[in-house]
Amino acid sequence: MMTLPVLSVLDLAPITEGSSAGEALRRSRDLARHAEALGYRRFWLAEHHNMPGIASSATAVAIGYVAEGTSSIRVGAGGIMLPNHAPLVIAEQFGTLAALYPDRIDLGLGRAPGTDQRTAQALRRTLAGDVDRFPQDVLELLGWLDDPEPGQAVQAVPGAGSKVPVWILGSSLFGAQLAAALGLPFAFASHFAPAAMLQAIDIYRRTFHASGYLERPYVMLGFNVCAAATDAEAQFLRSSSLQAILRLRTGRPGKLPPPVHDFEATLGTAERAMLAEFTVCSAVGGPETVAERLLAFAERTGADELMIATQIYDHAARRRSYELLAEVHGTLARGTHATAATH
């Protein structure tokens, strides 16, 4: 009998039109507290740069702020774009977080820049070989977080011996292969790049090597959810994120705009095609619709965990979406357990 995937939260700390980065981060911490009370397992923030609508660029700082405001939910990075940083610096940052919030910090690693090439160059000073070195950088970071060798001249302090759980993030087959080879948990960005999802899952599970980090494959998938009392209300709320996606894809990134009625009816063929990949791994609607889509996605993928992304302009409506999803998940879980008990 299928076991439903665990639910977690992916937060981009959205800066809405008419608000500030400070307000966005305070809303993120409030959402994390709400998710903790609802039973979500993790609350992850993502590294992006030069994005007017995203407040989590200093990701480790934002994680510390959220962790300080919560007590039990795991808080982490989904992810840190490792080519932007020296591995030792990340080991020190996340070693510090782990020292302050023991057994609650996760470190997801990606190899994309999380921004445009000009901003990436401003972050790194040079782009030479950075992406190509990602596997070596991951191994170096794992070494900094592990127990130091006798006489080791350079150590991450804090960080050495912290063994912060490391995840490999990806939107292609490369991340799946690397996670499998290193025996690490794998998170696929299916919420915005679903094309290679099933192939990546298959490669990861089929080629996984057990390690000191993980005995068996563990798959987390990104999943967009916009839940409301009715399908119509959810479609209305969802229009904010669709507007933001179109603006980003056409080189006009901005703050998260307010929703508009019948937004999708105004779109042309090219715009609909641009949005299509963002709707494949999504559940938008009232509780019944969300339950149907969630169950179908879980059955199709066999995911161990879903990282739920929800971009809604109104904070109260965003909180309510996560609340409705938790209720739906609980109902489905009770149903699957009841069905299993009868067989």
Q: Which architecture does CATH list for 6-341?
A: Alpha-Beta Barrel (3.20)
Whether the CA torsion 68, 69, 74, 75 is positive or negative: it is negative
How far is residue 184 from each of residues 104, 173, 221, 314, measured CA to CA in Å? 18, 15, 15, 36
Domain assignments of the chain as residue spans, ordered by start = 6-341
Nearest to 131 by CA among 87, 83, 172: 83
In the numeric block, which tokens belong to residue 2? 């299928």
pLDDT tens digits, residue range 73-117? Answer: 999 999 999 988 999 999 999 999 999 999 999 999 998 765 667
* Opening angle at CA 278, ends 41 and 299, nearest 5: 55
Residue 320 has pLDDT above 90, yes or no: yes
Q: How far apart are CA 50 and CA 140, in angstroms?
A: 28
Residue with tokens 């290193």: 182
Q: What is the per-residue pLDDT for 341? A: 43
What pLDDT does residue 103 have? 97
Question: How do 282-285 and 219-227 pair as beta strands?
Answer: parallel
The confidence score (pLDDT) of residue 331 equals: 96
Instruction: Give residue-wise pLDDT tens across range 191-239.
Output: 988 999 999 999 999 999 999 999 999 999 999 999 999 999 999 999 9
Please check the confidence at residue 338 and state whether its pLDDT lies above 70.
Answer: no
- Classify 43 as helix, strand or coil: strand
pLDDT score recorded for residue 121: 72
Mean pLDDT, the chain, as a whole number? 93
Distance CA 261, CA 266 (A): 10
Would you say 50 and 119 are in contact if contact means Cβ atoms under 8 Å apart?
yes
112-132: per-residue pLDDT in tens?
A: 765 667 777 777 655 555 567
β-strand partners of 285: 227
